[in-house]
Amino acid sequence: MSAPTIAREHIDQDAQKVIRHLVRNGYQAYLVGGCVRDLLLARTPKDFDVATDATPAEIRDLFRNCRIIGRRFRLAHIVFGRKIIETATFRANPRPASLDGTTAGSGKASAEDDEAESDAATDGSGSRGAESDVYLYRDNVFGTAEEDARRRDFTINGLFYDLESGRVIDYVGGLDDLAQQHLRTIGDPNLRFREDPVRMLRAVKFAARLGFDVEDETYRAMTAHHAEIQKSPAPRVLEEIYRLLRGGAASESMVLLRETGLLQFLLPEVSQLLRLHPTALDPYLALLDERVQVGDVPSNAALLSILCAPPLAATFDDATAPRDVLSFVDGVITPLCLRLRVARRDTERLRQTLVAQRRIAQARKRGGRLPAGLLGRDYGNEALGLHALFYRAMRMADGISSEISALEVQAWPLPQPLWLGDDDVVPASHGRAASSDSGRSYRSTQRAKSRDGRGPADDDADEPREASREEQSSEAGTSQESSHADEDAAIAAYTAALQRSQDFDFEDDE
C-alpha cells in the first residue's frame, strides 16, 4: 500500500547513508517503526531505525563503525559520532505453530540466539513454565520484510519506508489506524501481551503520547492480562516507566496505568496512595510534563522522586524536614528501588538529591548563598530543579495558580534556570552547552560560568541579600552549622558504606 511521499529533507542523512550502502551491496533496507510513524504524523522522530535482510554479522562486515548488541534480540548499532543508527535484521515469528495457530518463521536462528536460548533455559528468568506459558524467551529467527512487520507490536509501528521508491510499505493496516488515531496490536492482543507483557506499557506510552484511542479488543486484553507484567524482567519494566514519565505525557500515562490495572503491579505503593488520595500526584505530573515540553530531560533520580512525591514532600521544607533525613528518605524509597531493581548509581543520586533539599530551602527562605559543595556536586543541578517543582506542586495543591508559583520561583535568590536533568543533557532551546565528545560534563568544563550565561561567576552574586542575617542570632547560626555538619557526616557515612558494598548494578537485557 502506498502513501504520500515523505520529504527527503526530513530524513536523517546518516540513516540515508546506511540504507544506500546496504542497497548498493545487494540487500533490502528500509526505514522502520517509530520514525516512519512520526514522519507521517508530522512529528520530529527521536531517532531513525533501519530494517534489512542483512544479518548482524553481514552488517558488521559492511560498516567499520558498527557494533553488535543484545542477547535476546541481536541488533547492529552503526555509530556516527554521538549518533546511533539502530539497524535490525528482518525477524520472523519464533513461536511454534502449535502455540499461536500461525506459521512460524522459516528463517534460521542466529548462532548467538542459540547461545541466548541456552542461557535462558538455565537462569531464573528463562525457566520454562507450563505449556500455557507463551512468554518469548528468544527472538532472533530471521525472516522476510512482511514477517518482520507482522511480528511487531502495534500496527502503527509496523510501517516501512522505501527510500529508493519513496513509498510507505504497509503489511498490517498501520496507515488506516494512523488516520483513525487508533492503537491496535498486530494479531491477537491476548497472545501478544502474554508473549511480551512489556507491550502493555508500550501501549500506554503510545496512547498517552500520541493522543490515540486504544482499540477496544486491545484495551480489553490489557485489562485481562495486566498481572502478566510481573513476568517481565525488572530492568525492562523500569526503563519503560522512565519513558512513560519522560515522554511529556506522564499525567495521561498514570491515568491509563490505573484504568488498566497495571499500576497495582508496577508500583503498589503509588497505587495504594492514589486509592486514598486520587489527585495526590496530579500537580507533580503536570509540572513534569510542562518541563519536558520545554526541552528539559529529567534524570532518573528526579523521576523516582516524583513517583514518591507526597511522602517525600516534608523533606523539601526545613521547617518540616526530619532531623535524620537520610533514614527518613531510605524508608520511603527503598521498597520501590528494591522491587524495580533501580541501578545503584541512580539510588545514590536519589538519596543525595533528597538530603540536599533542607539546605536549599534554608537558602531560599533566608536569601543566603547555597553551600559551595552543593553547587559543585554532579547532582546539584537536578536538586535545585526538583526543589522548584516540589515547591510549585505544593503551592498549586494549596490553590495557588501555576503562573503565580512560577513567578515566585523566578524571584528566588538561587541560580536560574532550574533544570530536572544533569548537565550532560541540556535543552538546546536555552543555549546551554552539551557535553563534549570526550565525555566531560558541562559542569567540569564550564564551572566558572553561571547557568544563565552571565559569564564567570562573581563572589558578590552569591552573597546573602541581607548580610546581617547570620549575625541576628548567634544561637541560630550555631544550630544551623551543627545541622549542616550532621548532614555532611550522614552523606559521608553513606558514601563510605556504598563504596564498601558488594551490590552491583542491573543492566537492561536488551
More confident residue, 442 or 251: 251
Q: How far is CA 405 from CA 353, 388, 400, in A?
A: 22, 9, 7
- Work out the number of other CB atoms within 10 angstroms of the CB of residue 200: 31
| Confidence check: pLDDT of 123 > 60 | no
pLDDT band at 389; cut points 50, 70, 90 = very high
Q: Which of 53, 113, 148, 153 is catalytic?
A: 153
Q: Which of 49, 53, 139, 318 is catalytic?
A: 49
What average pLDDT does range 36-40 have in this prediction? 95
Instruction: Determine contact, residues 131/137, Cβ cutoff 8 Å.
Output: no
Within-domain flag for 63: yes
323 and 439 share one domain: yes
What average pLDDT does range 54-76 have in this prediction? 90
| Confidence check: pLDDT of 415 > 80 | no
Within-domain flag for 213: no
pLDDT at 470: 34
DSSP H or E run through 278? none
Position 237, amino acid:
V
In tens, the pLDDT along 268-278 reads 999 999 999 99
> Which range is least confidently modeled, 153-162, 204-213, 326-335, 375-384?
375-384
Q: Which of 385, 381, 371 is nearest to 487 (CA)?
A: 371
Hey, what's the cell of 422? Answer: 544533569
Tell me, rounded to whole angstroms, the distance of Cα 39 from its chain centroid: 22
pLDDT band at 427; cut points 50, 70, 90 = very low
Query: What is the average pLDDT score of the chain?
Result: 78
In tens, the pLDDT along 258-298 reads 999 999 999 999 999 999 999 999 999 999 999 999 989 99
Using CA atoms, how far apart are residues 462 and 208, in angstroms rounded to an integer? 42
Position 450, amino acid:
S
pLDDT at 139: 56
Active site residue 153: yes
Q: How far is CA 338 from CA 52, 213, 495, in A?
A: 39, 34, 18
Within-domain flag for 260: no
pLDDT at 358: 86
Within-domain flag for 333: yes
In tens, the pLDDT along 488-497 reads 555 555 444 4
Position 389, amino acid:
L
Angle formed at CA 343 by CA 340 and CA 347, multiple of 5 degrees = 90
326 and 443 share one domain: yes
- Domain containing 168 equals 1-180
What does pTM read for this prediction? 0.74
* Per-residue 3-state assignment (H helix, E strand, C coil) for 41-101: CCCCCCCCEEEECCCHHHHHHHCCCEEEECCCCCEEEEEECCEEEEEEECECCCCCHHHHC
- Residue 151: give its domain's CATH number: 3.30.460.10
Judging by beta carbons within 10 Å of its beta carbon (0-12, 13-18, 19+), is residue 32 exposed, middle or buried? Answer: buried
173 and 281 share one domain: no
pLDDT at 359: 85
Q: Which of 14, 47, 378, 509 is catalytic?
A: 47
pLDDT band at 370; cut points 50, 70, 90 = confident
Q: How far is CA 328 from CA 103, 285, 321, 483, in A?
A: 56, 23, 9, 16
Judging by beta carbons within 10 Å of its beta carbon (0-12, 13-18, 19+), is residue 380 exposed, middle or buried? Answer: buried
pLDDT at 342: 95
In tens, the pLDDT along 179-218 reads 999 999 999 999 999 999 999 999 999 999 999 999 999 9
What average pLDDT does range 171-182 have in this prediction? 95
Active site residue 49: yes
160 and 296 share one domain: no
Number of domains in the chain: 2
